[in-house]
Every structure is written in C-alpha cells, then in structure tokens.
Structure 1
Amino acid sequence: MSNPGEADLTPITDRRQLAAWFADGCKPRGTWKVGTEHEKFGFFRSDFVTPAYEAGGRPGGIRAILEGLAALGWEPILDDGKPIGLKRGGASISLEPAGQLELSGAVQADLHATHLELQAHLRDVHQVAGPMGLGFAALGFHPTHSRAEMPWMPKGRYAIMRRYMPTVGSLGLDMMQRTCTVQANLDYGDEADMVEKLRVSLALQPVATALFANSPFTEGRPNGFRSMRGQVWTDTDGARTGIPGVVFEDGFGFERFADWLLDVPMYFVMREGRWLDAAGASFRHFLDGRLGILPGERATIGDFADHVTTAFTDVRLKRFLEMRGSDVGSPAMIVAKPALWVGLLYDDAAQKAAAALIRDWRLEEIRALRAAAPREALSATIRGRSVRDVARDVLAIARDGLRARGLGEEVYLAPLDEIVASGLTQADRLLHLYDRSWGGDAARALLQAEV
C-alpha cells in the first residue's frame, strides 16, 4: 500500500500496462531474496487489556510505542497528521486495525539475516513497551476480547473497510480487529516460474494453515478450531479471498491475473494524502474514467498497485509472491515460515518435486482441504492422506531445497519437524495448558505467546 506522496502517477492508457506491472517483478535467480512480515497483539500485563491508540489514563498506548520506536531511528509515517507507522531502510512497522503491531521486514539475502532482523525488532519492542507494562503476543486470533473490546486505529482506509466489510461477509471485522498472521514474500524469475510457484503455494497453503495453527480460543473459551484466523477468512469477502480458480486455468499468467483483479471490488483511492471511499466500485469503470467519486478521472499505475493490495487471496501475486495462509506464532515459528517456502520454491529440484506432489490435486479438492484445515489441522485429509502425512513429504522437500542452497538454513525447519513428529500444533499445546494448568483461563495464552 503506497504512502502519501509515494504513488506512481503514470496514467493507465492500455490494459497491457497492468500485466507489465507484474512482469516488472521478474528477477534473475541469483538476485532472489526473502521478506518476512508478522503481526502481534499488544496487551497490558496487569489486566490483559489491549492498548488503545492514545494512552488515556494508562501509562502507554500504541502512539507512544510508535514514538518510542521512532526515537530508536525510525522515520514516522503520518495519516492526517498522526503517526500510524514507521520506516527505516527497506523495513517498516505498521498498525493493523486494532493496533496489532506489524513488522514488514526488509528483503534479506538469506534466513539467517531474517532471524537477526526479527531478534533486533523484538529487542526494540521490549525496550519501548516493557517500561509501559505492555507485552506483545503472537497468536492467530485474540483469545479473550470481543470485537467491542478491541480499539480502532486512526487510519483513513480502515474507516472505509470498517463500513464496507459487514456488507460482504460476517467475519470481516474479526479479520481486521482480532487476527494476526505471519507471511513470507518470495521472488519469481519469469512468468512461467510465477505460474508454477503460485499454483504450488496455493495448493499447499492449507498444509501451512495446519502446521502453523495457533488460534484455538475465542472470547475466553475453546472455539472448536485450531486456526480460528483461518476460519475467519472463509467468511470475510468471497470476491477477494481464498483460492482463485483462474490460477489453475490453462493459459494463466500476468494478464489473466490482472484481468481477474479488475473484477475485485474497490475499497478506496488516495488523492492529496487522503483516502476516498470507493468501496464496491468497479476498477474497470475507473480505467474508463467512470468512477463515481472521481468523474472523468482515469486510474494511474499507483491506483492499480493500491488495488492489488486489496485482494486477500491465500497467496497474493504482486511484484513478488506473498504466502498468507498462516497464524503467527513463536519467534522460531516466525522464521520457520520463510524457511518452509524458500526451501520449496528457491531450488529448482525442490520446486519441481513440490509441483509433482500436487500435480493431480483438483481445484475442488484443494478448496475442500482449505475449508477443513482450520478445524481439523493435521488430521484433515486430501486423497486419502492426512495433512500430517503430506506435511512430512513437504518438509522433506523443503529441507532438500534449503540444503541445496548450502547456507545451513535447514535448522529453521526444526519447529515444523517437531509438530509433524508429535502431531501437536501450537494450538493443541495451548488447549492442553488451558485444560491442565490454567484452570480454564484463556487470558494466560497471551503470556504464553508473548514474544
């Protein structure tokens, strides 16, 4: 999402520009890097309340955290004069709708650098938030709070989404306020490479949802799911979420994906540093100068780039690929996320092996697995095999792919190996603690998951 003053103002005069925008992301194999993003819930350790943007009568708030981090060398990002994020080098810190703190890491050459970046970020957060009595928990869904108990951040686009979301799904506001994810961003070499990577990663995203499942509580009680966050996405907005069938059609490529995006309803347009409400409007109309809120004005490349970020598919194609199907978890699990996908997709032999693994899976089978994974996790099945068994094969392929890189990165798969070996996800372990040690107090999950 562009920040004020950063958008590409090139007018779109030919729809081939849209496919070309994606094609500009193609990179030679030797330059491929990895980016990692993760979100986490803030909470006051004294009573587990989520901090609001302004401190109020408490010793700290989200704004104070941003200001404290800015003092450590980050440049503020403003929305209507208020700090709503930070940037430094190629990294940024941003706020999700209820104040979930997100690190969008810089692109890194290897997983060791990703690991070091995460450690440095968490040290900074502890230094700033600790004296305020605040902790941050890495869970896929908030374990205790209702929507009404979650605050809202003063970001213009969130006000638009807050109004629109309930018109297209029953859980969109839960997605905004009560979920946290970890995602890995990877490069592609050319259009054919992008197509294979996107198909493989979409098909295996339910396996990742199961492996990283870490959200078994809702409003203080077990919710019947291992990944409530994964379930929330099934009823957020069907026009822009899930596994788009177009990806598996013959002839799919940059142009077909761009055309699919034109039918994803708009959310907003930025003009003069402000977000204008275009929720539900057609980007095709915008291309033709027929957008109601900007009559006669045609879309720019920057407008299209912003629109791309409003597609919430399980894997999102931008000028790189975003693996989006996982709950956030422990620091080891945060680094395991890029380790899994780098291992599968950055070595040619590993990528071909992963493609062979899913080659005969039909779209309806993949979607059925996606529907089952949030509740059943490792016990969900596809073609008579459990996800646990499939995950064992996937991890073997990923490990071979990382070993082929020769950097010793396969160590970061260790927490996933343990999950497959034990059959217990992070969610299962939390449920065990809830039943055996916590006396039914789900708020303890915040402390257990503190990073």
Structure 2
Amino acid sequence: MTTRTADAGPDPLIESRADLIGLFARGEKTKDRWRIGTEHEKFVFSTTDHHAPSYEEKGGIHALMIGLTKFGWEPVYEGENIIALSGPDGAISLEPAGQFELSGAPLENLHETGAETARHIAQVNEIGAKLGMGFLGLGFWPDKTRAELPIMPKGRYEIMLRHMPRVGSLGLDMMLRTCTIQTNLDYASEADMVKKFRVSLALQPLATALFANSPFTEGKPNGFLSYRSHIWTDTDPHRTGMLPFVFEDGFGYERYADYMLGVPMYFVFRDGKYIDAAGLDFRDFLAGKLSVLPGETPRIADWSDHLSTAFPEVRLKSFLEMRGADGGPLETISALPAFWVGLLYDDQALDAAWDEVKHWTIEDHRRIRAEVPKLGLAATGPRGRTFQQLGKQILEISRRGLAARRRLNAAGDDETGFLAPLHEIVESGKVPAQRLLDLYHGAWGGDLSRVYETARY
C-alpha cells in the first residue's frame, strides 16, 4: 500500500473537475517511455518457531529495516518509526501485519525486473539469516490466525483496521493475512488506457488462476486455490470488484473519476499524521464540508491518496495496476509482468487479446470472477473453454508480444523466457496451490509446517 510520510512540497489545491481528471492524463507517455513496475509481498517468519515477528521485538521487523540500510536503502519515518525504505530499486514498505513489500523501480525491460528481484531477495535473505528470519512466497498465511499476527506502526493501518469490520467480514484477513504480486504499466492516451483496462480487467481472473497459491487457512486446506482472491469478494463492496462500467460505452478518465468520487474515504494526511475520515465523502471535501477538516478543500496529493484506497481487480492512477495474482515462488515474480507486458505493450498482441474477450458479457465477467478462486484453470469461459485452454491461447499471444519487443539481454535472449513457469502450469493444468495440496496430502502427510521450507525464498 502507498506510504505517505510528509506533506509534499508544492501541492496545488484542486480547483475544478479538470484537476481530478488531469492526474490520469499526466500519466500518458509515448511508447518509448513506457516502463514496467513490479511489486511483490512476502510473509516474514522466525526460523526457530515460525511466528510472525513484531515490529519492536529483538531481531524483529525494525531490525530487518535497519539491517537493509547496509545496501544503501534510506530510512523513511512516520513519527519515530521507520516504516519504509527508499533506494535505486524503488521502495520497501510494510504491510499491516509485517508483510514485506518491494515496490520496484520503473524499468525498461524484464531482464532488469529479474535482476532487481534477485538483488532484493538476496539482500533480505542475507539480513534475515543474521536475524533468524525467513521469507515465504504464498498468497495467504497458511497457519496463522488474525490474533497471532502483529500490527505495524502506520497511521493509515490503524484507521483501516477500525473501519474494515464495518463494511465486510474478510477485510481484516485482506490486511493481515494476504500477499500479492502486482504489475504497474503505462498507457499512451485515454483511448489506449481504455483498451488496456478492458483487456486486463477481463483477463485478471486468468492471472488469478495461473498464480493461485493460497489453499490453506489456519493449518488446513480451505477449499480454495486462491483464497486471497476470494477474500476480496467480502472486503468492502464500495471499493472492490470487476467494475462493469469499464466495459460500457463512454468509459474513460471522467467515468473512473466518478467511480472514485463514490468510494468512501479512509483518511486525510496532514502535518505528518493521518486524520480518520473513514466513510466520509470526497465530494464533501471538494465542497469544503468535510467534518474532520471543516472549511478546508483537498489538494492534488489528497486525490492521489484517495485513488490508492480503492482495490478493484485493475486500478487506475497515473498508470494501470494489475492486482489479480497471489504471492508465490521466485520465478513467478517476473512471470507476472512478463504475462501483462506481452499482452499490453504490443499493439498486435493487445488487439488479439481483445478479440478473445470483447464478446464477454457483464454476467460472464461476474461468473468467471466468482468461479476462479475455487476452480483455477478448470473454470470455464463463455464458450465452454476451460481456463487451461484459454490460458494456452493467451500465453501464446503474450509470447508473440514479448518476442516482437526484441528486448535482449547480454546473452542475446529476449523476454519470452520469463513466461516459462506459466507455460508449465497451463501444460500440466496444475496451478501452484494444487502442487502444494498434492504435497500436503502426500509427502507431507498433513504436516503443514513443511510449507516453510517448500515455499521459502
């Protein structure tokens, strides 16, 4: 989640509707300036007893943050607490229960993404080894209850933890017990954004299926392949879901702004502190009628903050965020951006992908979204094709898109190799969660503690 630590410097007041829409328009970039941003979260655990370390305990999360400064990371403070790190590889931040996130830098190609990920994992493993910590690549804590998890000292999380139970039964699970991989990608124009949004939103359930990796809850199989994805269905109906309006005629920046104006607020950030505005209306803020800041109107940074508080399957800010994948094995961290870059950054691939989904109805989207967390690649599309069959076709489109980019490394390899883990999944028909379940019912003999070695980075 976004980390704010101080009021930005020059931050103009929002004076008109055009200022709201302008944030999206300023994200437009010519194709030569398109970049790839990759974010991934992982669970931190003690190698002695598998507990989730607290922030303040000896050898805990604070110590991990301090240890990483060895590699040139600069601390970012909220009050007296280090709650993030910044550096040339982007930013490291803390999720609510100490899930450790790298929000990578905007990079030109997937070879750079792979190198960035490898550096980060090597760094956290080096410091973690000294502290007795390990890092787990899964979409959901396999054995922890909410009560067993610590809370990180970040002001926005205090507000969200209070508010979540008011609007859904699984919001606290989303905050405390999930991990994801995300990809952030650019667009050239409003029309380009619309097409990319529609394709990526329609195919987000396919990504969920391919990366499904959360089959356990509190020590036992939970009946899902991606329980993380299921959690979003009962987190907060005002800020989650498939966004049917994206597929309607006239969708663009203005329509997304209208959607966000209808999303209730969480907070306002002032003087280094978060002010609780949970459930209030951003339109009242625009009118100077926000009860917690009477007479004050929002700035651009407030709108940017507000955009980060909606959690649909695809999210628009000044770029598009792909949000459908579970956290998982090391090789899947680069496979996710490879999947989306191949589809969205080549015009022919984008057209071909749109041809596959443009006939899907809103009812199709809803049904597929509901089925995939349980069925994975066995879910079916509108014409009766399984997602395994669809996955093979979409992966081939993505492969062609990556090949057309011709982004080569020093050995002369293009980016298509990053799709290899996904090709293996669709050929076998087994997503990562199913492989874990096979181990649980087979070699592990029901001993879920063995996941800590199998799924460890």
**TM-score bucket (shorter structure):** over 0.9
Mapped partners of 2:99, 2:447: distance in 1: 22
Mapped partners of 2:297, 2:213: distance in 1: 43
Moved over 2 A (4+): 5-9
Do 1:39 and 1:181's aligned partners in 2 also have CA atoms closer than 8 Å?
yes
Mapped partners of 2:89, 2:192: distance in 1: 25
Mapped partners of 2:98, 2:9: distance in 1: 25
Residue in 1 aligned with 2:48? 46
Do 1:16 and 1:255's aligned partners in 2 also have CA atoms closer than 8 Å?
no
Residue in 1 aligned with 2:397? 397
Do 1:7 and 1:302's aligned partners in 2 also have CA atoms closer than 8 Å?
no
Do 1:18 and 1:258's aligned partners in 2 also have CA atoms closer than 8 Å?
yes
Residue in 2 aligned with 1:329? 328
Which amino acid is 1:426 matched to?
P
Mapped partners of 1:141, 1:241: distance in 2: 18
Do 1:217 and 1:223's aligned partners in 2 also have CA atoms closer than 8 Å?
yes
Q: CA 1:8/1:262 → structure 2, altered by over 3 Å: closer, same or farther?
A: farther
Mapped partners of 2:277, 2:452: distance in 1: 37
Residue in 1 aligned with 2:196? 197
Task: Pick the aligned partner of 1:419 from 425, 434, 439.
Answer: 425
Which amino acid is 1:19 matched to?
I
Q: Per-residue deviation at 1:9?
A: 2.2
Matches within 5 A, 1:16-415: 16-56=18-58, 60-89=59-88, 91-383=90-382, 384-407=384-407, 408-415=414-421
How many pairs are equivalent? 448
Mapped partners of 2:219, 2:145: distance in 1: 9
Q: CA 1:242/1:333 → structure 2, altered by over 3 Å: closer, same or farther?
A: same
Mapped partners of 1:294, 1:102: distance in 2: 32
Mapped partners of 1:3, 1:49: distance in 2: 29
Q: Per-residue deviation at 1:71?
A: 2.7
Task: Pick the aligned partner of 1:439 from 436, 439, 445.
Answer: 445
Task: Pick the aligned partner of 2:6 from 4, 7, 13.
Answer: 4
SS in 1 for 2:448: coil
Do 1:74 and 1:87's aligned partners in 2 also have CA atoms closer than 8 Å?
yes
Do 2:208 and 2:372's aligned partners in 1 also have CA atoms closer than 8 Å?
yes
Do 1:388 and 1:423's aligned partners in 2 also have CA atoms closer than 8 Å?
yes
Mapped partners of 1:7, 1:311: distance in 2: 25
Q: Per-residue deviation at 1:267?
A: 0.2
Q: Which runs of 5+ in 2 are unaligned?
A: 408-413
Output one character per residue of 1:156-188: Cα deviation in whole Å (capped at 9) or x when no partner.
000000000000000000000000000011000
Q: Per-residue deviation at 1:70?
A: 1.6
Mapped partners of 1:442, 1:231: distance in 2: 21
Give RMSD over aligned pairs. 0.9
Do 2:43 and 2:141's aligned partners in 1 also have CA atoms closer than 8 Å?
yes
Q: Per-residue deviation at 1:89?
A: 2.9
Report which stretch shifted further, 5-14 or 40-49.
5-14
Mapped partners of 2:210, 2:70: distance in 1: 37
Q: Per-residue deviation at 1:439?
A: 1.8
Output one character per residue of 1:183-230: Cα deviation in whole Å (capped at 9) or x when no partner.
011000000000000000000000000000001000000000000100
Q: Which runs of 5+ in 1 are unaligned?
A: none
SS in 1 for 2:328: coil
Please report the TM-score for the alignment, with normalisation by the length of structure 2: 0.97
Which amino acid is 1:404 matched to?
A
Mapped partners of 1:441, 1:107: distance in 2: 40
Do 1:139 and 1:327's aligned partners in 2 also have CA atoms closer than 8 Å?
yes
Identity of aligned residues (%): 54
Which amino acid is 2:42 matched to?
K
